[in-house]
Amino acid sequence: MTTIYSNIIASLKQGEKLLAVLIDPDKTDLIQIPSFMKKVEASVITHIFVGGSDVETNATQLLVTEIKRWTDRPVILFPGDINQLTEAADGLLFLSLISGRNPDFLIGKHVEAAKKLMHSNLDIIPTGYLLIENGKETAVQRVSGTKPIPRHDLNTIVQTVKAGALLGLKLIYLEAGSGATHPVNKEIIVAARSVIDIPLIVGGGIKTMTQLQDAYEAGADLVVIGTAIEENASFLDQLSLTSFKWNN
């Protein structure tokens, strides 16, 4: 069976750029999904992530079910807790918060989730998740009770990224946090890319086309945008298949 992960690897081998939109169930009105997804379908977005730091029970399933009515793009869970797991999605980023030292988010929540996932049909992708300091406190920081790695502490970031790869994780996700003041900078992305050969995801605080292109040029394989579209609906229009051009 062809998996989401194998498709990501195949796309990257062909030099394709991948882009995900993150949809938060707590910030999304289901009534808006049909019109929003029409824009997504007409854009260069390749993946849809669904999740948030603090989401009501059943909200994720309702949202994913509605999204799936309007797209064939992979819908991947990006959960803040086990109540966001749903078989309605296609895949799951099985996140381990390796930038922090809270055992619940390193392994504890995963043990709780194992019962639900024992016979799951989701494409489960083990993912090393690093929260990078961005200039303000984030929801992930509050919920997880962990501190981000300072963005100027390049050695710790690189060592943590490498440790995640050595543990056998299949993706590394550098996250500045929703609405970040500073997105993950090019120096961090370049350094992280240099020590791993698994796909690198970058998200948080990317609000302009320049920041998006900078992330790719520095070595990001998949970029995630969320707040940019929540705050500026026209940003999605800039990603239209007919108007957007990747920089080579």
Farthest CA pair distance, the chain = 46
Quick: pLDDT tens for 103-160: 999 999 999 999 999 999 999 999 999 999 998 999 999 999 999 999 999 999 999 9
**Residue 77 covered by a domain:** yes
pLDDT score for 1: 42
pLDDT score for 234: 85
**Residue 6 covered by a domain:** no
**Residue 54 covered by a domain:** yes
pLDDT score for 246: 66
pTM: 0.96
**Residue 10 covered by a domain:** no
In angstroms, rounded to a whole number, what is the distance separating the alpha carbons of residues 244 and 81? 35
pLDDT score for 2: 60
**Residue 11 covered by a domain:** no
In angstroms, rounded to a whole number, what is the distance separating the alpha carbons of residues 229 and 62? 21
pLDDT score for 166: 98
pLDDT score for 240: 87
Domain extent for 197 = 20-237
Q: Taking the CA atoms of 66, 68, 71 and 77 in sequence, report the sign of the dihedral they define.
A: positive
**Residue 245 covered by a domain:** no
pLDDT score for 245: 67
**Residue 65 covered by a domain:** yes
**Residue 113 covered by a domain:** yes
**Which residues of the chain carry a pLDDT beneath 70?**
1-2, 243, 245-248
Residues 6+ apart with CB under 8 A from 218: 186, 187, 189, 190, 193
Distances (CA, A) of 227 to 57, 69, 158: 22, 23, 26
Task: List, in sequence order, every residue forming a beta bridge with 75; answer none if it has no partner.
Answer: 48
* Tally of domains in the chain: 1
CATH of the domain at 50: 3.20.20.390
pLDDT score for 247: 62
